[in-house]
Amino acid sequence: MSIEMKMNPDVPFVGDTLPKLRAAAVQTAPVFLDREATIDKIAAKVREAKAGGADLVVFPESFIPTFPLWCLFLPPVDQHPFYKRLFENAVSVPGPAFYRLQRIARENGVFLSVGVCEKSTRNFGTMWNTNLLFDRQGNLIGHHRKLLPTWGEKLVWSFGDGSSLNVHDTEIGRIGALICGENSNTLARYALVAQGEQLHISIYPPCWPTGRAKTDYFDCLRVRTCAHAFEAKVFNICCSASLDEDAIEQMSCGDAELNAWLHDQGWATTMIVGPNGAPISEVLRDNAEGIVYADIDLAKEITMKGIHDIAGAYQRFDVFQLHVNKAHRQPAYFHNDAHGENEFIPYEEEQPAEEG
């Protein structure tokens, strides 16, 4: 007879309670390189997810205005027009598109996670692969820039830094997020676990061609998602984009062979996985569009943590140590020096009298 069967149901519950929530992951295609139309689509999908009972709604990597898939297969000299359009439709933080996302979260009363291509408000031409996390009131609580662009992404995005490698304490749990290849970075993942992560968000593009042969991207993401959930004993919300015909047509640049190759990619997946490493939601694959939901009870992490808590009782801090630099990187550091100031003094018609 199991322990559960022996327990007396008439004994009242005593002890701490942990949050319960409904998470939604949206697998869909952005409107290719059209920031405003893509945000319109986000607004509609968030309303749909809210109607489905969602407390947390997650969108894919670089969803606004699109993931720059061309950087993986077009020669660099042919990428300039796409780079220009990407920058013109990227998101400034803060800025008008950013404020629209705040309103969407607030009006629907949901936690909202969106992958964006962020452009610098200071350094013209610089962009980052960024994940934004808003609370129910529309406050920005998470602003994570991918630490290191992967492979061909280095032609598009700059480096993030440790200042955004954070876990956010909210009413629905402690939320962390990593972008695409960061979910293969053992130290980045451990840094979040060490900060008490309970809900992990992992976001991806629709496909990831590493050669002319088809890449089995589904299995790649399935292993990553289930591995982090199991190792960290957290719920992992894996959210990927899909690729529509308009994007394929534009990126193939009239090349029929390239168009056919893009249609024949190994596609990503969207799923939500529990702390035992098993999916607890529908699993989307094969470039499908849809929303997957999962009801999450954080109390289910307790038993699993009691077995393997890799940032707690199942760790040897005397043997292993991780040091994380959370300093925010700046292009230059200026120290206040009166002798170095370039002071602007306006011309005045009536000059003051000379000092005696």
Residue 56's CATH number: 3.60.110.10
What's the whole-number mean pLDDT along residues 117-142? 96
Task: Name the pLDDT band for 332 (thresholds 50, 70, 90).
Answer: confident
Tokens of 197: 């992560």
For residue 334, being part of any structural domain is answered with no
The active-site residue, picked from 45, 71, 153, 180, is 180
What's the whole-number mean pLDDT along residues 126-139? 98
Domain that holds residue 120: 20-307
For residue 95, being part of any structural domain is answered with yes
Q: Which of 196, 266, 204 is nearest to 234 (CA)?
A: 196
Task: Name the pLDDT band for 12 (thresholds 50, 70, 90).
Answer: confident
- Quickly tell me which residue has 């280095």 as its tokens: 154
* Lowest mean pLDDT segment, chosen from 122-126, 135-139, 201-205, 220-224: 122-126
For residue 335, being part of any structural domain is answered with no
Give catalytic status of residue 61 as yes or no: yes
Task: Name the pLDDT band for 166 (thresholds 50, 70, 90).
Answer: very high
Which residues share a beta bridge with 24?
A: 57, 293
Number of domains, the chain: 1
The active-site residue, picked from 61, 153, 182, 301, is 61
Helix or strand (DSSP H, E) at 238: strand 235-240
pLDDT of residue 306: 96
Between CA 146 and CA 330 the distance in angstroms is 16
Quick one: 110 exposed, middle or buried, by C-beta within 10 A (0-12, 13-18, 19+)? Answer: buried
pLDDT of residue 334: 79
pLDDT of residue 1: 46
For residue 1, being part of any structural domain is answered with no
For residue 193, being part of any structural domain is answered with yes
pLDDT of residue 356: 45
For residue 96, being part of any structural domain is answered with yes
Between CA 330 and CA 335 the distance in angstroms is 13
For residue 229, being part of any structural domain is answered with yes
pLDDT of residue 333: 84
For residue 10, CA distances in Å to 6, 7, 13, 16 come to: 12, 9, 9, 18
**pLDDT digits over 172-206, tens only?**
999 999 999 999 999 999 999 999 999 999 999 99
**CB contact set of 153 (below 8 Å; sequence gap of 6+):** 68, 71, 129
pLDDT of residue 350: 66
What's the whole-number mean pLDDT along residues 119-132? 94
Full-model pTM:
0.92
3-state secondary structure of 166: coil
The active-site residue, picked from 41, 45, 119, 146, is 146
Q: Which of 53, 51, 46, 57 is nearest to 104 (CA)?
A: 46
Between CA 195 and CA 164 the distance in angstroms is 13
More confident position, 193 or 336: 193
For residue 279, being part of any structural domain is answered with yes
**What is the b/e burial string over 54-63, where b = at least 16 CB atoms within 10 angstroms of the residue's CB?**
bbbbbbbbbb
| Gyration radius from the chain CA atoms | 23
**pLDDT digits over 55-72, tens only?**
999 999 999 999 999 999
3-state secondary structure of 53: coil
Q: Say what percent of the chain tops pLDDT 90.
A: 86
Give catalytic status of residue 146 as yes or no: yes
What's the whole-number mean pLDDT along residues 150-175? 98
Tokens of 307: 């077995």
pLDDT of residue 349: 66
pLDDT higher than threshold 50 for residue 239: yes
Between CA 157 and CA 210 the distance in angstroms is 18
Average pLDDT over the chain, rounded to an integer: 94
**pLDDT digits over 67-113, tens only?**
999 999 999 999 999 999 999 999 999 999 999 999 999 999 999 99
3-state secondary structure of 98: helix
